[in-house]
Amino acid sequence: MEFDLREFTENSNIDLVNDGDLNIKISKPYICDLLSHVMSNAEENVLWITVQNNSNIVAVASLLNIPAILLVEGVKINPDVLQAAIQENITILETDLSAFDVLKNFFNGDR
Amino acid sequence: MLSVRNLIKSQSELLVKDMMTKNLITISPDDTMLDSKIIMKKKNISGIPVVEKDGTLVGIVSIVDVILALDEVALDSKVGERMSKKVISLNENQEVSVALDYFRKFRYGRLPVVDDENKAIGIITPNDIVSRLINFLDLDKVSDSKEASDCNSEEEIYLDIKGGDFTHAGGASSQLKKILEKMSCSKDVIRRAAIASYEAEMNVVIHSNGGFFNALILPDKIIIRVHDYGPGIEDISLALKKGYSTATDNIRSMGFGAGMGLPNIKRFSDKFRIVSSSAGTKLDIEITSREGK
C-alpha cells in the first residue's frame, strides 16, 4: 500500500496546491471528515482525504504528523487554511474526483 | 514596582561569570550512559555538560536521554553517541540579561557557560540569578536553595483559550507537542499528549466561555490541566459516551461534534479526572510513558 507522495501528485486528476515535503513515503490513504475520528484513528504518514476545509484540519494533521491532505469532490482550499498549511509545511492537494475514484484510479495505474 | 528584569538591565556590568556556579559537574563523551545515571542520581541533577579532556564543551546529556537509554536497554552505550550535540551555551562575558532572554527563549532549566575558547567553566540557572541578585540587593534571609532544585528538566506552559475562536484553535496543543519533541520524549507519549490536549482544548473552544490550558512536563509524566469558565456539562456520563454530542450544526459542519472528544481523552491518557458545574469544567489529564509496561 505504501507509495511516494510525489508520484501520487503526478496523477493528472490532482492539483498540487502547496508542496510541503513531497519526498515522503505515504503509508496508506485515510478517509474521514470528523476530526475526533481522525484524531483517534489516523496513523502518522497517511494521506488524509477529506472535504473539511477549515484551519483545524491543518492543526490536526500537524499534531498527528500527517504530511499531506487531499481535498476531494471539487472542494477548493480556503486561503486561511492554505496559509496555515504553508506555515506547517503540509502538502495540500485538490481533486474534482471522489475519494473512491481518485484512489481507484491511482491503484489501477490510470494516471 | 521593582521589576527584576529592569533591575538587571540597569546593572549592565552584571555578567554571567559573576552569577554562574563554578563548581561544574561534567562527564566525558567516552563515559557510559550508566555513568550519567549514577552521577545524576548522586548529585541530584538532571543534566550534565559533556566535555573533552581539554575542557571543550561538546554536548549535554539529560535525564530524558538516560530514560531513553533505559528503555532501549542501552545504558552501556557511550555518552558521546546519545548526548544532545546542539548545546546552547552562554559566554562568561555576556550580560546576565542575555541569560534571562535565553532561558525564556529556549525554555531550558540550566545553561552551560563557556569561555572564549569554548571550554566549559560553569553552569547557570534562573535560580542562580535570582539568589545572587538578592545578595546583591542585600536582602538576605533567603533560604539556601539546593543545586538540585535548580537543575531539572521541568517545563511548564500556560495559555489562555478563547471560547469560539476556531482560527487559533489547536495552538496550545501544538505548542505542547513542539516542546515534547524538543525534549525528545517518546513518540507514543507525544502522540497521546497531542491527541488528549487537542480534544481538551477544542472542548473549551466549542463549548465554553473560555478557559486556560496548563501543561507541566516532568521527567516521568505530563500533567495537563484544561479548565474553563462555564457553562459546564449537564450530564457528564452522557458526555463520556461515544457519539454523544451537544455541538450545534454550525460546529458539526466544521468536522467537530463527533461525540468522541472526552472518550478520546480517556482512551489516550493514563489518568483522567473531570469535574463540572455551572461555574466551569475542570479536566485534569496525566500521560505517563507506557513503554516497557
pLDDT in tens, B234-286: 999 999 999 999 999 989 988 998 899 999 999 999 999 999 998 899 999 99
Contact A40 B260 (CB under 8 A): yes
Of the listed ranges A1-5, B30-34, B124-128, the least confidently predicted one is B124-128
What proportion of chain B, given as a percentage, has pLDDT over 70?
87
Phi then psi for residue A16, to 5 deg, are -90, 115
* ipTM score assigned to the predicted complex: 0.86
Higher pLDDT, B118 or B108: B118
State the Cα–Cα distance between residues B183 and B108, nearest whole angstrom.
Answer: 10
State the Cα–Cα distance between residues A110 and A56, nearest whole angstrom.
Answer: 32
Phi then psi for residue B49, to 5 deg, are -65, 140
CA distances from B197 to B208, B233, B274, B284, B289 (A): 16, 18, 14, 10, 16
Give the predicted TM-score (pTM) of the model: 0.60
Q: How many residues does chain A have?
A: 111
Q: Cβ contacts (< 8 Å) between A40 and chain B: which residues?
A: 195, 260, 264, 267-268
Q: Cβ contacts (< 8 Å) between A62 and chain B: which residues?
A: 170, 174, 177
Q: What is the pLDDT of residue A13?
A: 92
Average pLDDT over residues B37-59: 89
Could you tell me the pLDDT band of residue B183, with boundaries at 50, 70 and 90?
Answer: confident
Do β-strands A29-31 and A47-50 pair in parallel, antiparallel, or remain unpaired? Answer: parallel
Cell of B53: 579532556
Nearest CA distance, A96 vs chain B (angstrom): 20
Q: How many residues does chain B have?
A: 293
Contact A64 B194 (CB under 8 A): yes
CA distance from start to end of chain A = 17
Q: What is the pLDDT of residue B10?
A: 58
Per DSSP, helices labelled H in B151-225 are 171-182, 187-207
Could you tell me the pLDDT band of residue A8, with boundaries at 50, 70 and 90?
Answer: very high
For A73-99, b/e burial (b = at least 16 CB within 10 A) is eeeebeeebbebbeebebbbbbbebeb
Of the listed ranges A63-72, B136-145, B169-178, B199-208, the least confidently predicted one is B136-145
Q: Does A43 touch chain B (CB under 8 A)?
A: no
Average pLDDT over residues A22-51: 96
